[in-house]
Amino acid sequence: MTKILNNGGSLQGDRREGILWSKDDVFAQVMGKERCGRVRGVGFGPTPIGRSGSNLPCLTGPSSSETAHQMTELENSLRDQLAESEQRHQEQMASLHARQKEEIAEALAKAKRESYARHEQQMAEAKRQMDEMMSGVTAMLQGAIAIMDINCDLPVNQGYKTDALLNKAPLEASRITCIGHV
């Protein structure tokens, strides 16, 4: 201790943050060499660990070439992951596009079948209505033919004969006699 006190007058070191730091100061001589993970100064201002990188031999990081190599590997890994992700995305988009095309084709086919079925229904209904109308017209024509077959004694100029009524063949003159008319 006396040796330390005798040499204490000639301190040389760095002045940082208002404090004179020296490798051979009393504190450094008593506490010993700076070690990684030790806190010196117990919180009273800046500590030797906080003042410079020269006191931090245990915190030496990897060399710059090693760091550059790790960064390059990490960058390549990230690029590969990005490429895989983009490829997966493209495959999913292609799959969705194909599925949409199928769904649209199925929907169109279904709509076409439904339209065809409605058309067939409408055609069947129209045919039924036409058949009913034709039955009515046939009945009317048969009634008209029956009336014309009655013997009437009326002169008719440019008339139609009953059997020629459907063919609409004109006759020059015809005499129809009606029962009950004189």
pLDDT tens per residue, range 121-170: 999 999 999 999 999 999 998 888 888 776 454 555 444 455 555 555 44
Buried b (16+ CB within 10 A) or exposed e, 59-90: eeeeeeeeeeeeeeeeeeeeeeeeeeeeeeee
pLDDT tens per residue, range 69-86: 999 999 999 999 999 999
Residue type, 16: R
Q: What is the mean pLDDT of residues 89-99?
A: 97
Residue 18 per-residue DSSP state: T
Residue 21 per-residue DSSP state: E
pLDDT tens per residue, range 17-54: 555 556 666 667 777 766 666 665 555 555 555 555 55
What pLDDT does residue 144 have?
Answer: 83
Strands (E), the chain: 14-16, 19-21, 154-157, 173-176
Taking the C-alpha atoms of residue 121 and residue 127, their distance in angstroms, rounded to an integer, is: 10
Model confidence at 88, pLDDT cuts 50, 70, 90, reads very high
Taking the C-alpha atoms of residue 150 and residue 153, their distance in angstroms, rounded to an integer, is: 10
pTM of the model: 0.35
The region of weakest confidence among 21-25, 109-113, 177-181 is 177-181
